[in-house]
Structure 1
Amino acid sequence: MSRAIEYTRFGGPEVLGEVERPAQALGDGEVRIAVHAVGLNPADFKTFKGDLRPVERIQRLIHPRRWFERSSAHFPRGVARDFAGVIDAVGAGVTDLAVGDAVLGTLRSAPGQADTRGALTTELVAPADDVIKKPTSMSFTQAACLGVASQTAYGAFRQLNLHGGDVIVISAAAGGVGSIAAQLALSRGATVIGIAGARNIAYLRSLGTIPVPYGADLTRRVREAAPSPVTKLLDCYGHDYVTLGRELGLPRRSIGTLVPSPAAILKGAQFTGSRHSSGRGDLEEVAQLVADDVITVEIAHTYSFTVEQVRAAYTDLMTGHVRGKLVVDLS
């Protein structure tokens, strides 16, 4: 039996509950992992709150057969995507991973897919293609922070064609995705202007970015901070940052947002992120940069694996003011 966190209806953190599950059978190309740590992401609570239901409806328009699925077929649903642990079983056809390997990964799915899986469980069965070996110098807690953030940042930069010499503005640059994105851009030789709250200015400066606090007259202040004209913008927050890109004179192809909305697209932004990631290869590259101390992982807080602590963690994450990552420790 394994312990897991799941939910059977949409709502706030109060809908999360702990259950016991029977051992899951391994399929071809899958591995079973004894989970040591799980990293949390805003997409997790947007999913269990039901904020992504409009995207699910769009998926039903694209795939009409889904209209005939019962809503109850999509429940119960697991929680979280990013994980780190040790493999204790491998399925047929898995050749590059073995029992005893320390690994990390993320459960990937199409945007809006009603995915019932979740990483917040003591025993996880996952496709081997979603898993990589953990560098030995990296802790399980660090490793659990990398999946979504790495693939989101890497995919966005692939779509924006980021290169050395670019001057890129990143909003919410102190957050879990933003801080990884800022350091990844710097490692490629780009100049990074990081936008965040005043309390995170020193932190952003320590990463090597040019920090600019959000607030009034932002376009002027970004221009004054930039050593040369801004060439790219990655919005990790939403709201008015796509407008900032337009005011800075950037063409559509140079503005990316991780927060899809009709308004953002109409204003000329590309919806990007993990959808443009190649998956495993991107995660491997960022994991090695972390192992080599080129990228540092900021862990704001670690929680124990109880339903009360998991609810508290998501309540904290929903404030939108967390620096770095929140992690649940299952070891």
Structure 2
Amino acid sequence: MTDETPTASSTPSISDSAIAASAAPAVPSTARAVQLDNYGGVDVLHISPVVVARPAAGEVLVQVRAAGINPGEAAIRQGYLDQMFPATFPSGEGTDFAGVVVAVGTGVDAFAVGDEVMGWSEKRSSQAEYVTVPEHQLIPKPAELSWEVAGSLFVAGVTAFAAVRAVSLAGGDTVVVSAAAGGVGSLAVQLAKLKGAAVIGIASEANHGWLEARGVTPVAYGDGLADRIRALAPGGIDAFIDTYGPEYLDLAVELGIAVDRIDTIIAFEAAGRIGAKAEGSSAASTTDALGEIARLVAAGDVLVEIAATYPLDEVRAAFVELEKHHTRGKIVLIP
């Protein structure tokens, strides 16, 4: 290839669509993806070749640069959420991703080949080298976001967004957040601070410094937690966001918080038992919510911590680390 540009008189006319097609990167017919053939521990996860689905009308094919992993995916893999989110095997895995558009279906006008995007899959397919999704599940990736942050933002971001919205925070409120340094909790405490609330974050002592740096008052979990929280908020607690488990909904009730201002993203049975809210990612799975979170992160108003990155081939190790439940921030797969 030379730097010479053929003149119009010496070159046959070529349509714009043909030029775009010739410039588009080659897409393989199969690519590697995380798969599982039955419920179980991390040992059921494996990397297998899968067909790369060419985009139908209204769809976009993305070469994945980063894909987050989430506790909910571990729970689904273990069969704990079979009643709510049953799997069909063989199953892929993953919701979050960011990458580069490599093909678009007919009718797609918001994105073109080469665009950097971030979004989500509703087919458990993002932990892979390529993913195909509808156009309305993508937003442009802000240049200020790294691939790791963009690729892990959807689930944690919109879940935190929904949880904070569910408890109707206003300036002067005091809210408690459980697992406050985790993937969702670390975002929820920051969003709550932006609402003007005083935030008490339940976390291990190893994470207290990080919470204090975000303007959050930390408190250690364990025996006597209710008394420690009362001492930190003698005027009372207005709201509670649970990102860990049912014991914290019981704690919220013990603290005298109205059930319509208690939200959990995980303890669905307990929420039904006490009448609390259970609004999480499904309550805010929109490009508007993702775009707002991405804007706040890009502007530096919300910090997303990347705890670790793993190659796609090391997906088992990534989930082993996640399932220790001591990670601050997000763990990300890099295909």
Q: Same fold (TM over 0.5)?
A: yes
Paired AA for residue 165 in structure 1: G
Distance 1:56 1:194 in 2: 30
Which structure has more relative contact order (CA 8 Å, sep 6+)? It is 1
Shift of 1:56: 4.4
Kindly indicate whether residue 208 of structure 2 is the aligned counterpart of residue 201 of structure 1: yes
Paired residues for 1:105-124 under 5 Å? 105-108=119-122, 115=123, 117-124=124-131
Paired residues for 1:151-170 under 5 Å? 151-170=158-177
**1:215-237 CA deviation, whole Å, 9 max, x = no partner?**
11111111211274211100000
Shift of 1:183: 0.8
**1:115-159 CA deviation, whole Å, 9 max, x = no partner?**
5x3111111101111111111011101111210011111112222
Kindly indicate whether residue 95 of structure 2 is the aligned counterpart of residue 90 of structure 1: no
1:329 is matched with 334
Q: The residue matched to 2:170 in structure 1 has which SS?
A: coil
Q: The residue matched to 2:62 in structure 1 has which SS?
A: strand
Runs of 4+ with >6 A deviation: none
Kindly indicate whether residue 42 of structure 2 is the aligned counterpart of residue 35 of structure 1: no
Q: Which moved more, 1:8-17 or 1:95-104?
A: 95-104
1:79 is matched with 93
Paired AA for residue 295 in structure 1: V
1:147 is matched with 154
Q: TM-score under structure 2 normalisation?
A: 0.87
Aligned to 1:233, which of 215, 236, 240? 240
Distance 1:200 1:237 in 2: 16
Q: The residue matched to 2:112 in structure 1 has which SS?
A: coil
Kindly indicate whether residue 320 of structure 2 is the aligned counterpart of residue 315 of structure 1: yes
1:64 is matched with none
Q: TM-score under structure 1 normalisation?
A: 0.88
Aligned to 2:283, which of 257, 270, 276? 276
Aligned length: 306
Kindly indicate whether residue 250 of structure 2 is the aligned counterpart of residue 246 of structure 1: no
- What fraction of aligned residue pairs are identical, expressed as a percent? 41
Q: The residue matched to 2:241 in structure 1 has which SS?
A: strand
Q: Specify every segment of 5 or more residues in structure 1 that has no aligned partner in the other structure, as ranges.
A: 58-70, 109-114
Paired AA for residue 176 in structure 1: G
Q: Which has the larger radius of gyration?
A: 2
Distance 1:157 1:203 in 2: 20
2:34 is matched with 5
Aligned to 1:104, which of 118, 127, 130? 118
Paired AA for residue 53 in structure 1: D
Aligned to 1:255, which of 249, 252, 262? 262
Distance 2:165 2:106 in 1: 33
Contact 2:246–2:270 (Cα < 8 Å) also in 1: no
**1:7-48 CA deviation, whole Å, 9 max, x = no partner?**
111111111111112331212221100100111100111111
Q: The residue matched to 1:51 in structure 2 has which SS?
A: coil
Q: The residue matched to 1:99 in structure 2 has which SS?
A: coil
Aligned to 1:55, which of 75, 80, 84? 84
Distance 2:210 2:303 in 1: 12
Contact 1:159–1:276 (Cα < 8 Å) also in 2: no
